[in-house]
Amino acid sequence: MSALGTALVTGASRGIGRGIALALAAKGFNIAGVATRHAPGDPEDNLEKLRREVEALGRECLPVAGDLSDLAAHQAMVEAVIGRFGSVDVLVNNAGVAPLVRADLLECSPESYDRVLGINLRGPFFFSQTVAKRMIAQVEAGLAPPRMVFITSISSRAASPNRPEYCVSKAGLSMTAKCFAVRLAPYGIPVFDVQPGVIATDMTAAVTEKYDRLIGEGLLLTPRWGTPEDIGRAVAALAEGSFDYATGSVIEVGGGFGVERL
Active site residues: 166
Q: Bridge-partner residues for 30, per DSSP? A: 6
CA distances from 130 to 3, 50, 68, 86, 91 (A): 24, 25, 12, 15, 11
Cα 262 to Cα 251: distance, rounded to the nearest angstrom: 23
H or E element: which one contains 26?
helix 15-27
Rounded (10°) CA dihedral 95, 72, 186, 138:
-100
The distance from CA 170 to its chain's CA centroid, rounded to whole angstroms, is: 11
DSSP label at 172? H
Q: Which helix (H) or strand (E) holds 85?
A: helix 74-85
Instruction: Please give the C-alpha separations between residue 62 and each of 21, 80, 238, in angstroms, as whole numbers.
Output: 11, 9, 22
Residues contacting 241, CB < 8 A, separation 6+: 147
Question: How far, in Å, are 30, 32, 126, 193 from residue 22 at the CA level?
Answer: 10, 11, 25, 19
